[in-house]
Structure 1
Amino acid sequence: MKPESESAGVPAVELKGITKRFPGVVANRDVNLRVMPGTVHAVVGENGAGKSTLMKTLYGMHKPDEGTITLNGEQVVLHNPSDAIARGVGMVHQHFMLADNLTVLENIVLGAEPKRWGGFGLNRAAARTRIREIGKQYGLEVDPDVLVENLGVGDRQRVEIIKVLYRGARVLVLDEPTAVLVPQEVDALFEALQVLKAQGLSIIFISHKLDEVRSVADDITVIRRGTTVATADPKTVSSRQLAELMVGSELPSPQTSESTVTDRPVLEMKHVELVKDGRHLLRDVTLTIHAGEVLGLAGVEGNGQAELVESIMGMRTVDGGTITLAAENITTWTTRRRREAGIGYIPEDRHRHGLILDAPLWENRVLGHQTRHPNTSGPLVNRAGARADTERIVGEYDVRTPSIDVLASSLSGGNQQKLIVGREMSGNPKLLIAAHPTRGVDVGAQAAIWDLLRNARAEGLAVLLISADLDELIGLSDSLTVILRGELVAQVDPSTVTPEQLGSAMTGAGEAA
């Protein structure tokens, strides 16, 4: 560990004594952070530790109740993100904020459009030139005229970074930037960060992947329960030590020690086809998941994973093939009937498909389970039963909240995820679809979710696991299937495949085994 006063020179960012209170909770308490120019400064901490609140304060989304913000030696007051952008602070959010139906150029200039001579119309030529200049300067090349919907995840992230650089950012806040990237894309991102550093930019890197943090960061600040507890040197600190600083426990492992796979099929998909506008979203998908089995589905985002999940859930009507749950043909069943038959669902996007953010926690407990005990009393919602079971989930799954009556939007991402996991496991499902179950959660919550999946698997649960964390996929899965452009293209052995081999198979660049 090293004292924060050791660094010389004028910091690009200095936060002193930042305190931010919300009703019933102190999100940040006397937080200190110093980021030097031309460095990558990682901020780590468990979910609910206050990282997001701190970054939103730096980005002008919150005004601190106490403390000061200093940028390049000048103390500032930031009233909104526009103030932060004007001061050279840009933020790339974990959930990309891009419009799929617009081009790269249109997304980048939106709200900062260069005008033609006379002030009328978008000067596309000037914008295109500037975007290409930024791409070349920082190693972030991307075609300005391609539609965002046609980009892979790695290129979408490049667009987000170019968007803040286009506005003149010299401080970049990256929130979980590797959460959805395959290893090759992570390597490309880290190469770009080295170029940004060399150009004198400062990067604040928020992540739960401690090995990545240690490999890319120049300094690491640890936040626990709303306050800074240490600044660590990535050259000397271990991932295990960081985990202990964050949550007081050792770094968890996703490894599963023994097989519990039975010969009893729970989910069977045979020759499933899904077509939209003449294009195959799924082609001849055939797979089986047995009781006690975790089937991992590996693929770069946008290759059919979401469509496969939505087909199983009944959110899409398939154009061919059959889907069977516990020997019953459910191909034409409604989503509600499938849920009642025993399908649990941890969605990829918890905000769109998992929660009503403006509703209290106990109402979110009811979602998707409106017709089942303890949420119903005849045709009506059993308010008392739902509230009591929400209290149970909050305690059992360590959902950190002052009350079950607070809005879901007030929880950190990891606590939102733990609420969803608790809800979906409460119905004793036969099949659990777990799409990115530990995305954006800290090592403590991650370990809890892994333990839950392992225990449920041992009791006979069938699990379809989709994850961008290849170590998680390899460690938890009994079998692994690779999906590429809507087709299942490879089956690999989790006990022998490496993340690099799996990443190559996912991109179509090589064999996985």
Structure 2
Amino acid sequence: MVVPLVEMRGITKVFPGVVANDGVNLSVQAGEIHALLGENGAGKSTLMSILTGLYRPDGGEIYIDGQRANFRSPRDAIAAGIGMVHQHFRLVAPFTVTENVALGLKGGLKLNLNKLAGEIAALSKEYGLQVDPQARIWQLSVGEQQRVEIIKLLYRHARVLILDEPTAVLTPQEARDLYQTLKKMAARGCAVIFITHKLQEVMDAADTITILRGGKTVATVKKSETNEKELARMMVGREILWQVNKPAPRKGDKVLEIKDLKALNDKGLPALRGINLAVYAGEILGIAGVAGNGQRELAEVIAGLRPSQGGTITVAGQELGQCDPCRVINAGVGYIPEDRLGMGLVPNLGAVDNLLLKEYRHPRWGKILLNRRAARQWARELVERFQVKMAGLDAPVKMMSGGNLQRLLLAREISTRPRLLVAVYPARGLDVGATETVHRLLLEQRAAGTAILLISEDLEELFRLADRIAVMYEGEIMGLVATEEASVEEVGLMMAGAKRMEVSA
């Protein structure tokens, strides 16, 4: 009998009031790509945090190459050849990419950072993970930060690679290249644990699949013995409606009009190079592109969070002018940022205060003092309407799962009845059940006549929801296509800058 490279037996981990892992079993062979599936809160991250030495289990055993392991810290796990890209990145924001990769390496002050930067650049080029070794983490988008985490693992030659949503920042072509790289690493004897909410990725890349639900192991199956529908049912405990109800768009008046928009990134370099777009009432315009090609800057300029360097933005006939979030809000713009917890919500505040962030000036809360009783009742109604699960209205929202955080954010933005809704990666990191809810809410807003600008790197999401897709590359629009007339390959080529089409808004 072949001894697994990684074996976790009966792993139990209890937090105050929550059993995160309840006797979980996981066995991963060397040379295998093993997918770990489950809803947000199913216990996947906790299980992997135990395997990487961040948490100590309350019960159960871990074996590496058949030998009992007792990880007292991440250093012990790293020494055993285990590395993980976490859902919430472990990066030091003021440090450069090179300095972050250097953390934990032997050598200390004797490390040659210039040499390391060159090696990082080579790795970036080899694996198609474009990132500037000298950039500081706070200057990078969420997608670019994820690339840094992947590079950290590749640089350390980990024997056990735990990857959480690694293809979220890649084009379809780059994703296929990554799959081939993972298969090569598995062929060399590594064990790859591939955490993803994209079931098609599981069917494309995995050899074996373990499903968690409610902190317990539901099943471990071979890819050849299952399908996407069955995996989804095991994950959420019910049938998932794969087909969305998206009737033909009722194209209304022009709500958003962008003309010759220019803006700089955090390094002072051009991020938007003359963008021209229009979004109409009752339609979803999708923005496709690899992270770092101007999508974040586009959303922030529209939201009034970043100054433009030229051009105009008009919402419902009103020109917004320069960098004024209050004016943007008053114009009827809702904004769902990519960083739901860092920018969209205040982590240490409760649901009531977070829901009030854009509504506290409303006359219904009183002219001088805020009517807390009325605000709590309003918040309670929104929480029930959007089915947000939480410990209580006053509990810090940082304790909530990703899916519930996104529901709360959507509740706040949709409750203002926006003319325009700018949604940036709204389903990133969410399980299939939470993704289904987010997509349903966006389509309900479309049906209500809201104009929606949907920025996503997930082409499956864009093809499912968008009426038209614009592709961004290096701050320019490479093409604008009707979804029913476009192909994934065509959009992927534009994302990579290999194809350009004539654009007309």
TM-score, L = length of structure 2? 0.89
User: Residue by residue, what CA displacement relative to the aligned partner does 1:266-308 show, whole Å, maximum 9, x if unpaired?
Assistant: 1122222224687432222222211101111112211111111
User: Residue by residue, what CA displacement relative to the aligned partner does 1:25-84 show, whole Å, maximum 9, x if unpaired?
Assistant: 222222111111121111101112121122112222222222222222222332332222
Give the distance between the partners of 1:46 and 1:200, measured in 2 at CA. Answer: 29
Q: Report what 1:291 is aligned to.
A: 281
Q: Report what 1:231 is aligned to.
A: 220
Summarize the alignment of residues 169-208 of structure 1 with structure 2, pairs less than 5 Å apart.
169-208=158-197
Going from structure 1 to structure 2, the CA distance change for 1:409 and 1:81 (only over 3 Å counts) comes to: farther
Going from structure 1 to structure 2, the CA distance change for 1:81 and 1:308 (only over 3 Å counts) comes to: same
Going from structure 1 to structure 2, the CA distance change for 1:279 and 1:199 (only over 3 Å counts) comes to: same
How far did 1:411 drift?
A: 1.9
Give the distance between the partners of 1:488 and 1:135, measured in 2 at CA. Answer: 25
| Amino acid aligned to 1:316 | R
Q: Report what 1:461 is aligned to.
A: 450
Q: Report what 1:30 is aligned to.
A: 23
Give the distance between the partners of 2:367 and 2:63, measured in 1 at CA. Answer: 59
Give the distance between the partners of 1:499 and 1:475, measured in 2 at CA. Answer: 12
Give the distance between the partners of 2:444 and 2:30, measured in 1 at CA. Answer: 47
Q: Unpaired runs of 5+ in structure 2? A: none
1:121 to 91, 97, 110: 110
Q: Report what 1:448 is aligned to.
A: 437
Going from structure 1 to structure 2, the CA distance change for 1:219 and 1:278 (only over 3 Å counts) comes to: closer
Q: Is the CA contact 2:307–2:323 (under 8 Å) kept in the aligned structure 1? A: no
Give the distance between the partners of 1:29 and 1:367, measured in 2 at CA. Answer: 38
Q: Is the CA contact 1:272–1:284 (under 8 Å) kept in the aligned structure 2? A: yes
Q: Is the CA contact 1:153–1:300 (under 8 Å) kept in the aligned structure 2? A: no
User: Residue by residue, what CA displacement relative to the aligned partner does 1:102-157 show, whole Å, maximum 9, x if unpaired?
Assistant: 66654422331436xxxx63245875797799899xx6488998535799999876
Q: Aligned-residue CA RMSD in angstroms?
A: 3.0
Going from structure 1 to structure 2, the CA distance change for 1:158 and 1:488 (only over 3 Å counts) comes to: closer
Q: Report what 2:319 is aligned to.
A: 329
| Amino acid aligned to 2:25 | N
Give the distance between the partners of 2:17 and 2:34, measured in 1 at CA. Answer: 30
| Amino acid aligned to 1:355 | L
Give the distance between the partners of 2:246 and 2:377, measured in 1 at CA. Answer: 35
Summarize the alignment of residues 210-359 of structure 1 with structure 2, pairs less than 5 Å apart.
210-253=199-242, 255=244, 257-275=246-264, 279-332=269-322, 334-359=324-349
Going from structure 1 to structure 2, the CA distance change for 1:325 and 1:144 (only over 3 Å counts) comes to: closer
Aligned residues, how many?
A: 499
Asked if 1:147 is matched to 2:134, the reply is yes
Give the distance between the partners of 1:407 and 1:510, measured in 2 at CA. Answer: 46
Give the distance between the partners of 2:144 and 2:317, measured in 1 at CA. Answer: 42
Q: Report what 2:51 is aligned to.
A: 58
Q: Report what 1:363 is aligned to.
A: 353
Identity of aligned residues (%): 44
Give the distance between the partners of 2:66 and 2:363, measured in 1 at CA. Answer: 59
Going from structure 1 to structure 2, the CA distance change for 1:360 and 1:152 (only over 3 Å counts) comes to: closer
| Amino acid aligned to 1:399 | V
Going from structure 1 to structure 2, the CA distance change for 1:145 and 1:281 (only over 3 Å counts) comes to: closer
How far did 1:352 drift?
A: 2.3
SS in 1 for 2:223: coil
Going from structure 1 to structure 2, the CA distance change for 1:144 and 1:183 (only over 3 Å counts) comes to: closer
Give the distance between the partners of 1:166 and 1:367, measured in 2 at CA. Answer: 42
SS in 2 for 1:454: helix
Give the distance between the partners of 2:475 and 2:163, measured in 1 at CA. Answer: 30
SS in 1 for 2:211: strand
Q: Report what 2:13 is aligned to.
A: 20
Give the distance between the partners of 2:95 and 2:158, measured in 1 at CA. Answer: 23
SS in 1 for 2:224: coil
Bigger CA drift: 188-197 or 414-423?
414-423
SS in 2 for 1:495: helix
Q: Report what 1:5 is aligned to.
A: none
SS in 2 for 1:448: helix
Bigger CA drift: 448-457 or 482-491?
482-491
Give the distance between the partners of 2:107 and 2:248, measured in 1 at CA. Answer: 60
SS in 1 for 2:203: helix
Q: Report what 1:85 is aligned to.
A: 78
Give the distance between the partners of 1:97 and 1:148, measured in 2 at CA. Answer: 16
Asked if 1:479 is matched to 2:468, the reply is yes
Q: Is the CA contact 1:59–1:91 (under 8 Å) kept in the aligned structure 2? A: yes
How far did 1:417 drift?
A: 1.7
Going from structure 1 to structure 2, the CA distance change for 1:143 and 1:238 (only over 3 Å counts) comes to: closer
Bigger CA drift: 76-85 or 240-249?
76-85
| Amino acid aligned to 1:77 | N
User: Residue by residue, what CA displacement relative to the aligned partner does 1:436-455 show, whole Å, maximum 9, x if unpaired?
Assistant: 11111111111111111111
Q: Is the CA contact 1:132–1:141 (under 8 Å) kept in the aligned structure 2? A: no
Summarize the alignment of residues 371-382 of structure 1 with structure 2, pairs less than 5 Å apart.
371-372=361-362, 376-382=365-371
Give the distance between the partners of 2:130 and 2:201, measured in 1 at CA. Answer: 28
SS in 1 for 2:258: strand
